[in-house]
Amino acid sequence: MDIMKKSIILSLVSVVLLSITGCGKDRVPPDSFFEYMNNPMDKEPAKHVRDDGQRENRSDFSVDEDVEYETTDFDISDSSEKFTVKVTSKYVYFVFKHKSTAPNMQFIIDADNSFSTGYKSEGGAEYIVENNKLYRSLDANVWNWREMSGENAKVSAITRLGEEDIVRLNKELFKKNGEFQPFSVSAQALDKRWIPVVVSPQNYTKLVVDNTKYSINDAPILASQEYKEQTIAVRQSDTAIELYVWAVAYDPYMQIYLDTDSNATTGYKNPDIPGFGADYMIEDGILYRSNKQNIWGWVYVQPLYVRSWREEGKVAMRISVDRAGINLPEGNGFNLYMESNNEDWSQTHFLPQGGSFASVK
Q: Is residue 333 part of a domain?
A: yes
Maximal CA-CA distance, the chain? 62
Q: Is residue 21 part of a domain?
A: yes
CB 320 within 8 A of CB 214: no
d(CA 252, CA 249): 10
d(CA 109, CA 186): 7
Whether residue 279 sits in one domain with residue 342: yes
226: CATH: 2.60.40
Q: Is residue 3 part of a domain?
A: no
The rounded radius of gyration (Å) of the Cα atoms in the chain is: 21
Whether residue 146 sits in one domain with residue 28: yes
- Give the tens place of pLDDT for each residue, 209-250: 888 888 999 999 999 988 899 999 999 999 899 999 999 988
Q: Is residue 2 part of a domain?
A: no
Q: Is residue 7 part of a domain?
A: no
- Residue 233 CB neighbours (<10 A): 22
Whether residue 202 sits in one domain with residue 99: yes
Whether residue 172 sits in one domain with residue 319: no
Whether residue 246 sits in one domain with residue 181: no
Whether residue 225 sits in one domain with residue 172: no
CB 360 within 8 A of CB 336: yes
The residues of the chain scoring below 70 in pLDDT are: 1-54, 79, 203-204
Whether residue 282 sits in one domain with residue 200: no
End-to-end CA distance of the chain: 55
Q: Which residues contact 188 (CB under 8 A, 6 or more apart)?
A: 8, 9, 105, 106, 107, 108, 196, 198, 199, 200
- Give the tens place of pLDDT for each residue, 119-154: 887 878 999 999 999 999 998 888 888 999 999 999
Angle at 48 between CA 125 and CA 303, to 5 degrees: 30
Q: Is residue 4 part of a domain?
A: no
Run of H or E residues at 14: helix 12-16
Q: Which of 187, 209, 231 is the last residue of a domain?
A: 209
Whether residue 282 sits in one domain with residue 255: yes
Adjacent-strand bridge partners of 159: 58, 165
Whether residue 306 sits in one domain with residue 202: no
The domain in which residue 191 lies consists of 12-209
Pairing of strands 91-97, 164-170: antiparallel
Q: Is residue 214 part of a domain?
A: no
Q: Which of 147, 175, 209 is the last residue of a domain?
A: 209
- Give the tens place of pLDDT for each residue, 31-47: 433 343 344 333 333 34
Whether residue 47 sits in one domain with residue 92: yes
Per-residue model confidence (pLDDT) at position 53:
55
Per-residue model confidence (pLDDT) at position 203:
59
Whether residue 17 sits in one domain with residue 132: yes
Q: Is residue 216 part of a domain?
A: no
Whether residue 226 sits in one domain with residue 170: no
Q: Which of 185, 209, 233 is the last residue of a domain?
A: 209
d(CA 185, CA 93): 11
How many structural domains compose the chain? 2
d(CA 194, CA 153): 24
